Structure formats: structure tokens, C-alpha cells
Structure 1
Amino acid sequence: MIAYFLDNRDLFMKKILKNKLFMWTYLADTLSNFGDVVYYLALMDYVLQLPNPTLAISLVTVSETLPYLTMLIMAVCADQTKNKISRILWTQFFRVSLYVVMGLMIGFSPALWIVGVAIIINILSDLSGQYENALYTPISLRVIPREDREALIAFRQGTSYALQLVFQSLGALLVTLLGYQQLAFLNAGTFFLSFVIMCGLRPFLQNLLDKNPIQMPEEASNEKVGQIRKLTGTLRNAVQTLKESSSLLRLALICLTGLNAISAAQTPLILFIMSQNKDFVLGSSAVTLALLSSIAIIGVVIGSVLTSTLFKETSLNFLLIASVGVTTLCFLGLFSEHIILVLVFQLMSRIMNGVMMPKLQTMVFNSIPEHQLATVGAGIDTMVTLGMVLTPTLLSGMILALPVRLLSFLFVLLSTLLLGYTFREAKKE
């Protein structure tokens, strides 16, 4: 087993290092992600310097959730865009300009109006980032060969989660060492480096597109059609494409939507149990919460590595059943108020998710027409994350009215029903 793992790991790394275009585009994306992490930490620290930070904190929190509502619109616009590489460069340069302006503004003494400007810049940057990512989605089909997609997507997922820990730690250090103005300029610098890298890659990417042009939606090619009709037409066709997709893909999306909705209750329930049961900790509540956060990232990283090794030939059917099954066991651990069981099953759940997501994303890439890929992908993201917003909202009210054991039992029941549905439908496949 160990020899098999090592042999596949070496093959996995050779595939990654051999694909220079993938590595350079991933580096450009990683640089901008680092800048975003540092800027967000700096903004939150800046807000705390205000005499009355409550309103500013509320505004920043709302600004972080607004881009979720625009994901689908940005994807539709990207699918309608013809010259995608040039537009990617413009979005990157636009974000450089935004944070240069922010660097000039944040040099003044802390004030609410500066926070307002920072929030507007943050929203514009997020919208631009959504548009840029959607523009790159069909281009990635040429950068990542079909046979290597699962392995490279798994690598990107695993390293992205691992780098989150590094970026947060390094970002916290930089916030303490540098001023807010320098950090804003640092963020502008990371986007400028990404812009320079993409300028260098442009001839190679354009060569790929010249050999195999991206098919455009019919609405985009018809200049006489109005913008609103283009958007609605693209959305309508994307919904129809998803309806006509494979039954396994539809099952995976339904299962993942339910799984995310149910799993979103775990952290609030853990906090609720901690407030009532002082023994529901390992060491202390702070240590336990830190472990939960670390396990979430470590599990996905492990799962990403195992995707191309131990679970390379594992079917998506099995992974769906295993993911829901482990989540059910996690809620049983919450019902029994046994923190070690919760931590173990949380880790197993995140590992299963880390394995499943690259396989699911590869299936979407391989089954959805490329001119609808960004729109359908954004629609899927919106659908599967909707429950992650609704469940904590509903649970916040239920906590006030129901005892914690009853709530835990309710989610054991819901996860068991989802497991039964997933098992029944997966058997048909």
C-alpha cells in the first residue's frame, strides 16, 4: 500500500511540474490570494482603531457577503465576453488601481469615511475577481489536459487550503510590523505581479485559443440581441443543460447541497454544547475551536493528496455515501456530547470532501459545454452554498427555543434521511 502510494505520488508530481502554464497561472492566482488575506486582516485591525467600531464591523461583514449574490451575474457576463485574455488583464490592472487608491486614502487618521471607501473598493475588487475567475474557466480547459484534470484540480485544492494557514499566520505578522498604507500597497503589488505574469503568458494562452477557439453562446454572437436578453438567454440555456446532464451529476449536486446545509449546523451546535457542558472540550474551549478549524483544513489537504493515489479509482457514488455517512456519525458524536468522536468524524468528513470535490469538478468540466461552463459552475456554487447561509440563520432562532440534545437529534435524523436517499439513488447508478 505504501509503495503504491509513493509511486502514484511521484507520477502525480511529474504531471504537475511538467505543466508550466498551469504552474505559472496558479502562481499568479496564489499571489493575489495572499494580498487579499493580508488586506482583509489589515482592514479588520484598522476598523478596531475607530472610537466606535460597531457600525464599521457590521458594514464590513455585510460587504463580505454581498459578492455571493453577484456570482451568477459575473459568470454570465464572462461567458458572453469574447476576448477573454485581454479582459483578464484589464481586471487585474483595475484591481491594482483600486488598492493604489486605497493606499493613498488609508494614510489619513482612522475614520468611518475611510472604512466606507475601503468597503466599496473591497466590493469592486471581489466583483472583478469573480469576473476574472469566470473568464479563466474555459481557458483552463486548454491549460489542463482532460486526462490530468482530476490530479491538477486536487493539487490546486490541497495547496490552496494549506496556504490559507500560512497566509493567515504571515498576514497577522505583517499587520503588526507594517502600517495600513504599506499593506494596501502590498496588496496592489501582488495584483501587479499577477498582471505581469499573465502578460508574459498571454502569447502562449492565445496560441492555445487560436488552435482551439472557445465556442461562444448564440446570444453573444448575435450583436442585435439586447444585453438583458443575452443574460436571460444564457441563464435559460444553462439551466436546460444542467437538467440534461447525467443522473450521477444531478445526484451529486442534490446530495452536496443537503450535505452543506446540514454540516453548517455543526459549529453552532458545538458552541451551544460548550456553553452548557464544560467537559465538551479538549484542554480548553479555545484549544478545541482551534483544533476544529485546523482539522477542517488538514482534512481537505489529506483528501486532495489521496484523490490521485489511494482513491484514484474510487467511484463518486461511494464517496457520496461515505461523506453523508461520516456526517451522520459526527452528529451522533454531538448528540452523545463526546468531543473526541466529533473531532475524529470531522476529520474523516473533510477528507471525504477533499477527495470528492476534485472528482465532481472534473465531471462538471468534462460534461458541460465550455461556453456555459462559468454560468453553470456559478449556478452550482450558488445552489450548494445556499444551505450554508440558511441553516445557521434558522438555527440561531431554534437555539433560543429548543434544548441542545433535541437539536442534535434533529440533525441526526436529517442526516440519516439524506444518507438513505443518497444510498437509494446511488444504487440505481
Structure 2
Amino acid sequence: MNVFFKNKDFQKLVLNSLLSTMGDSLYYIALMTYASQLPKANLGISIVSFSESLPTMFGLFIGSYADASRNRSQKMIGSTLLRSLLYFIVGILIGFDASLMILTVIAILNFLSDVIGNYSEALGSPFLPLIVPKNELEEAQGLRGSIAQTVRIAANFLGSALIGILSFRLLAWINSAAFLLTILILLSLRSLFRSLEEKHLQRTEKISMSLFFRQIKTAIMNIIQNRPLFKLLMIFAIVNAIFMTITPLFSMLLAQYPDMVIKNFPFTLALLQGMVAIGSIVGGVIGVNVLKNYTLYQLNPFISILAVLLLSFMYLQETWLILTTFLFLGFLIGVANPKLNAAILTIIPLNQLGTISGGMSMILMSLPPLFILIFSGIVTAFSIQTALICLGMVSLGLLGITYHSRHTTY
């Protein structure tokens, strides 16, 4: 915590990130609640969930564009102002009579806001190692991540409480105002960022998209040719996709079966998000040491078993068992993530690390939106029970693959 209290510029950087995180988390609960109240709640929840997952697919493009950008501080201020404007418009739209058409337009605006937010974050990411001394950088990154997780949990519960008091319109405008506050923080950092950019960051805005796509193609081909890496990456891409698909399916269950709700819809959804976050934090901090002798392939069967159990409890509509299983699932994923990063560094030749990392991100981030689209379609075409059974079969298939590979050394 010393790095936070003694470094005022780092404090501002963290506060700027946290205000943005709080706004995003708070309004996610609001949008899901709004969607759950529509006559076609399942379709509405699918639209919101897809719009929330889709921005991750553009991470590579956004990061490359941000890396080539000049006048970073000015663009960070401009993008944040644009996000504030988008949520002001959301506030106007959400005040009209609720409909799928209104929700679709709002979801598109929310998607644009998330993409712009990712761009702003990518613009600001090089400043952290320039503001924080090298010997304190690891502490600063860990602290920033822990605070962000805590704020995300708090924002979810705050959102669930405010929904019962304030209108969806007012919540959108509060979110808009939060982005305006971050602009004040960025203005106070503008001169510092300009100075650091002049001294340390390359100044260019020439972006060759053809070169970019060739690099991604090369990266993906290198991953496919590296069989151990490709197998490991595909397993975790599927695990990530299953994990992210369960939340919208759970939301659909809550909308369809009110008896499953604890207190109210937004509180139950916030409770689910909180369980996942707490499990992940405990897994990353404590579980990594407790399970340090377990390889990824030894952990994966347990993750798959918990996923099957979770989907079974969802089928049986047992809310408390769902939440408890989610806690343990979050714990194991919190343990697995650092092991995955370490395994990747072991498998990939160092001279190919930068190129292959781009292809890995593309694979990992492409599956969740695809899974959400497919299984939401199954819910719409058939039933939520059918979707749960199908996702359970995918989890069982993953269990078979990981069990067969349990003696692998990473």
C-alpha cells in the first residue's frame, strides 16, 4: 500500500480507472435488470450479454491503434467525454416505454462506450511504468487489480440497491457524471502525460492494417503448429467461454423463474458476480500457493466437474447451490490463470512471444461472444433447459479431454 499513499500521480491513475470501472459495473446490473423486465426477457438478456462480451474481440485492434496514437492525454480526455455523452443519450432513450428496439439501441451505445473505454485504457497503460518506480511496479499492478476487483463487487451491489430507489434514466446520468469526474482527473495529469509521452513514447500514427493482419495470421499459424500450446489454449478458451456463458443463462433463469430470486433480480445477479470475484481473488492470492504442485491439466478436470455441477444445479433451479459452486469455480480459475501465464512463457520461444501473444488473445477472446450467441439462440429456439443440457455436454467433453491429458507436466 506504500506505493499508493506516497505516489499522488499513481493515486490519480487508480482513481481514474476505478471511476470508469464503477460506472461500467453499476450499469451492467441496471441493463440486465431492464432486459429481464421485457416481455421477451431471454432475448433482451442475450442482447445485453452479447454487447458486453463483444468488445473483447476488438482488443488487439484497439491496442495496436492506441500504440500508434499521438497526443494520448488529449485523446483520453476526448474519449472519456464521448463516453459521458453516450450515457447521457442512454438516459434519454431508457426513459421511453421499454421495448426490445430501445434496448437494442442502448446495447449498441453501451458497446461503443466499452470499445472507447478500452481504447482510453490502452492509451493510458504505458504511463504506469513511467509513473511508478521499477522496484514498486509489481506491487502497484497487484494493488490496482485488487482495488478494481473490490470496486467491481461494491458497484454491483450498489447498483442493485439503487435500482430499487432510482430510475434507469437517473442511473444512466449518474454514470455519465462519473465519466465527467474522470475528465477532471485526466486534466490534472495532462501536463505530466505530455511530458512523459515526449520523452519515452514513440510518436507515430502510421498504421498498416495489411501488416497488422499478416502478423495476426502468422501468430495464429505459429500457435497451430505448436501442438502443446494450441491444445492448452483451446482448452482454456472453451473454459473461458463456458464461464462467461453461464451468467446470461443464470439471468434468464431468474427472469423465467422468480422463485429462484434472492431479495430481487439485481441483488441476486450482484451476488453471483460477487461470488465469482471473491473466489477469483482468494484463488489468485492464496490458492496459487496451496495448489502450487498441481499442473494446469490436473486442475482442469476439477474445473470441468464444477461446471457440470453448476449447470446441473441451474437445471434444478437451486440458487444457493449455484452461488456456492460459482464461488469454488471462481477460486479454481483464480488459481489457473497465473499457471496458464507461466506455462505460456515456458512453451513459447522468447523471440516469438510478442507476435504469438496477439494470436492467443484473438483466440481466447473470440469464443465467449460466439458461445453466448449460440446458446442464447438455443434458448430462443428451444428452451433454457435445452441450452443447459447442451452446455453441460460441452463441459463433459472438456472433462474427457483434460482427464486424458492429466499427466502433462504443465
Check whether TM > 0.5: yes
Residue 420 of structure 1: how far off its partner (Å)? 3.8
Structure-2 separation of matches of 1:290 and 1:103: 22
What residue number does 1:233 align with? 211
Match of 2:299 among 326, 329, 336: 326
Residue 103 of structure 1: how far off its partner (Å)? 2.5
Per the alignment, in what secondary structure is the counterpart of residue 164 of structure 2?
helix
Check 1:199–1:362 CA distance in 2 against 1; reply closer, same or farther (3 A cut).
Answer: farther
What residue number does 1:349 align with? 332
Residue 28 of structure 1: how far off its partner (Å)? 0.9
Counterpart of 1:298, as a letter, is: I
Greater shift, 67-76 or 290-299, is seen at: 290-299
Determine if contact 1:37/1:168 at 8 Å carries over to the other structure. Answer: yes
Per the alignment, in what secondary structure is the counterpart of residue 70 of structure 2?
coil
What residue number does 2:111 align with? 123
Which structure has the larger Rg over C-alpha atoms? 1
Percent of residue pairs bearing the same amino acid type: 23
| Residue 297 of structure 1 pairs with residue 270 of structure 2 | no
Query: Which runs of no fewer than 5 residues in structure 1 stay unpaired?
Result: 1-12, 222-226, 273-283
1:12-411 to structure 2, matched below 5 A, reads: 13-50=1-38, 56-214=44-202, 216=204, 220-221=205-206, 230-237=208-215, 255-262=232-239, 264-265=241-242, 294-306=274-286, 322-331=295-304, 346=329, 348-353=331-336, 355-356=338-339, 379-388=359-368, 393=374, 410-411=397-398
Equivalenced residue count is 375
Structure-1 separation of matches of 2:338 and 2:102: 43
What residue number does 1:275 align with? none
What residue number does 1:414 align with? 401
| TM-score when normalising by structure 1 | 0.67
Check 1:177–1:211 CA distance in 2 against 1; reply closer, same or farther (3 A cut).
Answer: same
Structure-2 separation of matches of 1:17 and 1:121: 37
Query: Which runs of no fewer than 5 residues in structure 2 stay unpaired?
Result: 250-258, 263-267, 314-320
Check 1:290–1:142 CA distance in 2 against 1; reply closer, same or farther (3 A cut).
Answer: closer
Determine if contact 1:38/1:167 at 8 Å carries over to the other structure. Answer: yes
Structure-1 separation of matches of 2:329 and 2:301: 10
Determine if contact 1:15/1:148 at 8 Å carries over to the other structure. Answer: yes
Determine if contact 2:279/2:328 at 8 Å carries over to the other structure. Answer: no
Check 1:153–1:304 CA distance in 2 against 1; reply closer, same or farther (3 A cut).
Answer: farther
Residue 232 of structure 1: how far off its partner (Å)? 2.0
Counterpart of 1:326, as a letter, is: L
Determine if contact 1:154/1:358 at 8 Å carries over to the other structure. Answer: no
Residue 203 of structure 1: how far off its partner (Å)? 1.4
Structure-2 separation of matches of 1:48 and 1:406: 27
Structure-2 separation of matches of 1:385 and 1:69: 5
Counterpart of 2:175, as a letter, is: N
Determine if contact 1:150/1:359 at 8 Å carries over to the other structure. Answer: no
Check 1:333–1:402 CA distance in 2 against 1; reply closer, same or farther (3 A cut).
Answer: closer
Residue 214 of structure 1: how far off its partner (Å)? 3.1
What residue number does 2:254 align with? none
Structure-1 separation of matches of 2:341 and 2:285: 11
Structure-2 separation of matches of 1:405 and 1:110: 33
Determine if contact 1:260/1:385 at 8 Å carries over to the other structure. Answer: yes
Per the alignment, in what secondary structure is the counterpart of residue 95 of structure 2?
coil
Structure-1 separation of matches of 2:343 and 2:5: 23
Check 1:159–1:401 CA distance in 2 against 1; reply closer, same or farther (3 A cut).
Answer: closer
Residue 35 of structure 1: how far off its partner (Å)? 1.4
Residue 386 of structure 1: how far off its partner (Å)? 3.6
| TM-score when normalising by structure 2 | 0.70
Structure-2 separation of matches of 1:151 and 1:285: 41
Check 1:127–1:409 CA distance in 2 against 1; reply closer, same or farther (3 A cut).
Answer: closer
What residue number does 1:3 align with? none
Determine if contact 2:156/2:273 at 8 Å carries over to the other structure. Answer: no
Determine if contact 1:327/1:415 at 8 Å carries over to the other structure. Answer: yes
Determine if contact 2:38/2:99 at 8 Å carries over to the other structure. Answer: yes
Could you report, residue by residue, the CA deviation over 1:65-108 in whole angstroms, capped at 9, with x for unpaired residues? Answer: 43233333322322232222211111001111112223234334
Residue 170 of structure 1: how far off its partner (Å)? 0.5
Per the alignment, in what secondary structure is the counterpart of residue 107 of structure 1?
coil
Greater shift, 143-152 or 385-394, is seen at: 385-394
